[in-house]
Amino acid sequence: NAGVMQNPRHLVRRRGQEARLRCSPMKGHSHVYWYRQLPEEGLKFMVYLQKENIIDESGMPKERFSAEFPKEGPSILRIQQVVRGDSAAYFCASSPAGRNTGELFFGEGSRLTVL
Amino acid sequence: GENVEQHPSTLSVQEGDSAVIKCTYSDSASNYFPWYKQELGKRPQLIIDIRSNVGEKKDQRIAVTLNKTAKHFSLHITETQPEDSAVYFCAAPYKAAGNKLTFGGGTRVLVKP
């Protein structure tokens, strides 16, 4: 059973470009969470999605950031017009549908570097 | 929302000694308290968790204690080894928001040989 799959693992973008990060949850999981980790800091919640629904986006910056989890395919975190402050590791986590325990399984992360 | 405070932010111990990390939380409805270990450049990995119907849980050299009245929980690592060096995060779910986990700020543990 494959774990949470994230790609790309590393992404370099110049200021003003767009970054797209993808996450495929574990098999059987339909809840996806995105967290951001700035260098030397903790994990900050960004957004919680279920298939075709954004459940909680209270941690998303108001501009330039968006997320989706379509019926088919991976969840995507999109950052438009990146700035240097967006450089961070972006972790996706998933949890099973119907089991509201809070347990999360993390992917290996996507490390974004903005030049 | 949930507020999770973690102390200390750094902890240096001699190999073989014990390490203790403490966390407090604010949402009295929280009922699940995981601890994650993150090695440099790696993903956070769940190492132990405790649910609110127990006060203590142990797994080999690691243990977690929970005090629901005081809203705090602790991670104990005994007989520390160099491979225990990592950043450790506590977390608690915010029940009113789909159980999303709120993480503490992390504790960087260094085990000196």
Pairing assessment for the beta strands A53-56 and A43-50 based on DSSP bridges: antiparallel
Using the beta-carbon criterion (under 8 Å), do A102 and B42 form an inter-chain contact? no
- B75-87, pLDDT tens digit by residue? 999 999 999 999 9
| Residue A80 half-sphere exposure toward CB, CA atoms < 13 A | 7
Nearest to A91 by CA among A102, A100, A104: A104
Structure tokens at A107: 């992917």
What pLDDT sits at residue A94? 92
What pLDDT sits at residue B28? 85
Task: Tell whether the model's pLDDT for residue B50 goes beyond 80.
Answer: yes
d(CA B95, CA B1): 9
Distance from CA of B93 to the nearest CA of A (A): 6
What pLDDT sits at residue A99? 55
What pLDDT sits at residue A101? 64
Nearest to A32 by CA among A78, A69, A83, A80: A69
pLDDT band at B96 (very low <50, low <70, confident <90, very high): low
Using the beta-carbon criterion (under 8 Å), do A33 and B100 form an inter-chain contact? yes
Task: Tell whether the model's pLDDT for residue B29 goes beyond 60.
Answer: yes
d(CA A61, CA A64): 7
- A42-84, pLDDT tens digit by residue? 899 999 999 899 989 999 998 999 999 999 999 999 999 999 9
Distance from CA of B3 to the nearest CA of A (A): 12
Which DSSP string do the residues of B10-71 spell out, in sequence order? EEEEETTS-EEEEEEE--TT--EEEEEEE-TTS--EEEEEEETT-SEEEETTEEEEEETTTT
Place of tokens 């993480």: B103
What pLDDT sits at residue A95? 87
Between A33, A43, A56, which is nearest B89 by CB? A43
What pLDDT sits at residue B100? 81
What is the percentage of chain B residues whose pLDDT exceeds 70?
A: 95
